[in-house]
Amino acid sequence: MRRALAVSALLVMAAACAARAPGTGGPGTEPTGPDPTRVEIYTAAFRSLADTEGWFDPVLLDDRICPAIGDPGGMGSCGERFTEAEQAAILAELGDLPGIRFVPDAERIQDRIFSGGLSGAGLLTVGAIDGDDQRVTVAGRSYCGGLCAHWMTLVLRNQANGWTVTGTTGPIGIA
């Protein structure tokens, strides 16, 4: 009996020691939410792309991350998607843009814009973040029709007021 109690007490203590506070990444904890730096960088990139024309209504954000999107005519693999938490955080920061929302079917939306079924819409797509904690690049495209698109690689810098688009690097395409 003593041995059973001792083993039980030992197991309870081991479980208590192994448990971690919520959000610290231990077993059975809640997620901590989206990476705030990633959200801030993508928010700045999307805002810059929306400003390429300034008249998009609605502003539609591709929920995919497409690394080669900065090359005219290129899309490459778009295997990664923004999480629901990232989408919510980005939308909260871009709430002043007209009709802002993420779309899970960007290729269909692009076809609708091209055919005139979504007049005035701008579809914004971004690539992966590449860089360090002071300077990053993000490929981007704003699409608003057959002869209405911009492709570029944005340069963002970590400044006193947060991540800010400071320019572009490499080729820029305009249709």
Contact criterion met (CB below 8 Å) for 168 and 153: yes
Which range among 30-34, 47-51, 93-97 shows the weakest confidence by mean pLDDT? 30-34
Q: With cut-offs at 50, 70 and 90, classify the pLDDT of residue 53.
A: confident
Q: List all residues 6 or more positions away from 67 whose beta carbon is below 8 Å from its beta carbon.
A: 76, 77, 127, 128, 139
Task: State the Cα–Cα distance between residues 125 and 131, nearest whole angstrom.
Answer: 19
Higher pLDDT, 129 or 23: 129
Task: State the Cα–Cα distance between residues 98 and 54, nearest whole angstrom.
Answer: 10
What tens digit of pLDDT does each residue of 88-118 get? 999 999 999 999 999 999 999 999 999 988 9
- Angle (CA) 137-36-163 rounded to 5° is 40
What tens digit of pLDDT does each residue of 114-135 get? 998 898 999 999 999 999 999 9
Q: Could you give the dihedral angle defined by the CA atoms of residues 163, 48, 33 and 99, in that order, rounded to the nearest 10 degrees?
A: 150
Contact criterion met (CB below 8 Å) for 119 and 76: no
Higher pLDDT, 64 or 19: 64
Which range among 18-32, 73-87, 114-128 shows the weakest confidence by mean pLDDT? 18-32
pLDDT, average across residues 50-79: 87
Tokens of 3: 């041995």
**Closest among 159, 153, 152, 151 to 135, alpha carbons compared:** 159
